[in-house]
Every structure is written in C-alpha cells, then in structure tokens.
Structure 1
Amino acid sequence: MIDHPVADFSRPATGGKEYRLSDSLGHPVVLYFYPKDNTPGCTTEASDFRDLHAEFSALGCQVIGVSRDSVKSHENFKTKLNLPFDLLSDADESLCNQFAVIKLKTMYGKACRGVERSTFVIDAKGVLRREWRGVKTAGHAREVLDYVRSL
C-alpha cells in the first residue's frame, strides 16, 4: 500500500552494525530486496546501484540491499563488488514478510519459496512512496534514481 508510514524495523547489517529505519528519518531510503548474494541478476542489480550511488547520495538518499543471506555472506558480496552501501540480513524473513516479498517460485521444476526482486522508496518522513515488484534488473537502478529525483 503506497503513501502509508512504514513500521520501524531493525536488522543486522554489514560492517557489524544494526540498521534501524527510524535512524534514517530525514533522508529518503531505497530498500531493495534480492534473492541471493553472488547470483547473476543480484550481482548486476547491486553493481547498478553501486555505479549510481554517488547520484543517490547527492540527493541525500540511502540505498540498502536486503536478502535472506547471512551477514558473513553479505560482507563477502559487498567486498567482492566494492559496494558503498550496506546490506541487511533477513534470515528470519521478518522484513521480507513486512514487505510481502516472499513468493512461491519454480526452480528446476519444483515449487519453492523465494524472494521476489522488489524495490521500495521510503521518503524522508518514513512514508512508502513507490514500489516495484517482479523487477527486471536492466535499467532498474536508473529508474529508481529518476523517481527519487522527483521527490
């Protein structure tokens, strides 16, 4: 549901930190959910957000990636790709459930639960302003940046 306040949350983050949404009030936040570290689509998406990070920062916007991977996995992924933003570990799926990004998928002919690639823009007041679900990575980070510029 767009244009409603996002409930505060806290998740373990890279860099030995605990990320809390309420600490970001006063700045827009791009929260992007992805299925798994070190997979082709997720690597492309993270790299695209990395390459545009200076432009997001110039707008005062934080970019945060989220998956169910461990913080250790995230640390390796972040180092490998030289990501300038934090990744949150949501191993218990509480944040995935808050944003309803867990979907039934088919992998190798079998049904399994997985993260649907999704992005959410939360404004400086903590209000959800835009969401993208079932994201295709090509051009997505640029589209998100263009939207953040319009806030």
Structure 2
Amino acid sequence: MSVSIGQPVPDVTATATGDNTVSLSELKGRQVVIYFYPKASTPGCTTEGGDFRDRKPDFDAANTVILGVSRDGVRAQENFKTKQGFNFELISDKDETVCGVFDVIKLKKLYGKEHLGIERSTFLIDAEGRLAKEWRGVKVPGHAQEVLEAAQTLQKGSLDVG
C-alpha cells in the first residue's frame, strides 16, 4: 500500500550509512526528503546526489533532513557516500521495505529486457510526519532545486498539502 498526499507516512526503520539506523518516527519535528535512486555510483544517481549535497546547507536552514535510498547494500552505499562526499545518510533497502511504503518498485525496460527496479522518485514529509509532496519519474536536472523550494515553502507553512 502506498502512502498518499496529506496522510501520515508509516514509521519505517532502515539501515543507513555511518552505522546508523534511521526511523522516520525519530525525525518528527523536522521535514524529511526521501529520494529513491536506482543504483549507487551510476551517472544519473551521482549527479542527483551531488545536487542534494550541494544544497544541504539550504535544506538544513529549512529544517529538512535528506535521505537517499536504493536497494544497494550498505558497503556500496558507504563507498558511494564517501567517494561523492555526500553530507547526508544513504539507506540500504535490500529487502525493499522502504521502497514498498512509497511504491517505487516499477517494471522497467533496459536494453529491451524488462525487470523490476526503482523508479527515480522523491518524497517530502512534513514535520508532523505526513506526506506533503511527491515527485515520480524524476528527471535529474533541476530536481534538487525544485525539492528545496518546496521544502522552504512547506517550512513557511504555505505549501498546499492535499
């Protein structure tokens, strides 16, 4: 079951980089951006992560935590985070628990073959833990800036939530 705009996001706990465990319930009081990407250390995912990294001070100023999620293992996520200098945690969702909450596993085609994979998607959760905005089928250029602007608007209390 997928979460809807304006609805509380179910509490999920996941393994993250830096020997951390992240629970959405522990982040209440702060806005949360969760962005899902297909695979660590690939060009589009590297660009997207870098765009969020470069805007992190602005997200911090908007009381917003950034979390990146893919089905890669923790070691791959650690390597990706270190190599790219990401200043936020990456979640390893090998069992697709977090992916399932947000319904981001989709049938995709690569070189004519169909497979199930992560659809590049981003979700903005408000400080009370409700889904405020979602972006699906994301195109990387300009996306992190658009998410930042939505987080800033939400923090000011003027984002129209469902």
Query: In structure 2, which of residues 28, 33, 36 is the aligned counterpart of residue 30 of structure 1?
Result: 33
CA displacement at 1:119 relative to structure 2? 0.2
Which of 65, 68, 72 does residue 68 from structure 2 map onto? 65
In 1, the alpha carbon distance for the partners of 2:49 and 2:142 equals 12
1:12: which partner in 2? 15
Structure 2 SS opposite 1:15? coil
Deviation by residue 1:27-68 (Cα, 9 ceiling, x = unmatched): 000000000001110000000000000100111110000000
After the TM superposition, list the runs of 4 or more consecutive aligned residues in structure 1 that deviate by more than 6 angstroms. none
1:60-117 Cα distance to aligned partner (Å, 9 max, x none): 1100000000011000000000000000000001111110000000111110000000
Paired letter, 1:127: R
Alpha-carbon offset, residue 124 of structure 1:
0.3
Code of the residue aligned with 2:83 in structure 1: it is K
| Offset, 1:145 | 0.3
Q: How does 1:127-146 map to 2 (within 5 A)?
A: 127-146=130-149
1:106 aligns with 2:109: yes
* C-alpha RMSD of matched pairs (Å): 0.5
Distance across 1 between alignment mates of 2:24 and 2:151: 17
CA distance in 2, matches of 1:147, 1:99: 19
Distance in 2 between the 1:78 and 1:129 partners? Answer: 27
